[in-house]
Amino acid sequence: TRGIRTGTPGKLMRSGDSRRTVICVEGNIASGKTTCLDYFSNTSNIQVLTEPVSKWRNVHGHNLLALMYQDPQRWGISLQTYIQLTMLDKHLSATTAPVTMMERSIFSAKHIFVENLYRSGKMLEVDYIILNEWFDWITTNVSLPVNLIVYLQTSPQTCYERLKQRCREEEMVIPLEYLEFIHQLHEDWLIKGTSAPVPAPVLVIPADYDLQKMLHKYEEHREKILAATN
């Protein structure tokens, strides 16, 4: 089905189709991206693509996410190579709705998570180079348009508390400092613009509030988000 271009509503569209709008929701681990996507999944015209975490936890029986947290030097390259593939697949997946809302992107996989592993000394230089070359090849040769980035801006402390509450087993080893590092990388990339190119305009939504208030915040920002579709 990939590659089909059609002007008829209800027919398949894919990345690169000029009539399709792509919105990526970014933010720290446990910043509330899934809740945001769930909220907008009820909007007609928006098709939500969730992040394939379940795939990363079960690659033919191997839990790559758990392995990476146990031994990042050994497994960081494996997890990030696989994530890059699953993200590319999401960016290119054919949808029927005119607006696609994605959890994260191939861009944050690279600019946040690969950078974090390398800069914190948890990834060998050669692994980092291989991932960079893959990323550069993909983004040079494949059209992956993004129209808007919704950045759920949190404090690392809030994410730390949410992380402990949700008890995803693999993540129980994550210290606050890890979330502080990931937070800083988001800020450098999306707010300060000092680390890597930002593929689309950024809409910042403060996201330290409780669930009920967050739902109001999403509603408040609905128009601005949908403006990206015009």
Considering only residues 15, 21, 31, 47, which one is a binding residue for ligand DCP as defined by CB under 6 A? 31
First to last CA, the chain: 26
Interface region with ligand DCP, contact rule CB under 6 A, candidates 8-16, 29-37, 186-194, 212-220: 29-37
Which amino acid is located at 134 in the chain?
W
Considering only residues 14, 90, 91, 104, which one is a binding residue for ligand DCP as defined by CB under 6 A? 104
Please return the burial class of 6, using the count of CB atoms within 10 Å of its CB with bins 0-12, 13-18 and 19+.
exposed
Closer to ligand DCP at the Cβ: 13 or 100? 100
Supply the minimum distance, in Å, between the C-beta of residue 1 and ligand DCP: 26
Supply the minimum distance, in Å, between the C-beta of residue 172 and ligand DCP: 10
Residue 29 found at the interface with ligand DCP (CB under 6 A): yes
Cα separation, 157 vs 177, in Å, equals: 10
**Which tokens go with 195?**
């680390």
Q: Is 180 annotated as catalytic?
A: no
Considering only residues 14, 21, 22, 32, which one is a binding residue for ligand DCP as defined by CB under 6 A? 32
Q: Return all residues near 127 (Cβ < 8 A) that are at least 6 apart.
A: 76, 77
Interface region with ligand DCP, contact rule CB under 6 A, candidates 8-16, 25-33, 88-96, 212-220: 25-33
For the segment 48-77, give every residue that binds ligand DCP (CB under 6 A): 51, 53, 65
Supply the minimum distance, in Å, between the C-beta of residue 214 and ligand DCP: 11
Cα separation, 224 vs 229, in Å, equals: 10
Closer to ligand DCP at the Cβ: 54 or 230? 54
Distance of CA 209 to the CA centre of its chain: 21
Cα separation, 32 vs 142, in Å, equals: 29
Return the beta strands (E) in 12-80 as ranges.
21-27, 46-49
**Tokens 């990323």 found at:** 135
Among the options 26, 51, 103, 115, which is catalytic?
A: 103
Residue 106 found at the interface with ligand DCP (CB under 6 A): no
Cα separation, 128 vs 110, in Å, equals: 10
Interface with ligand DCP (CB under 6 A): 27, 29-34, 51, 53, 65, 83, 104, 109, 113, 171
Catalytic residue IDs:
103
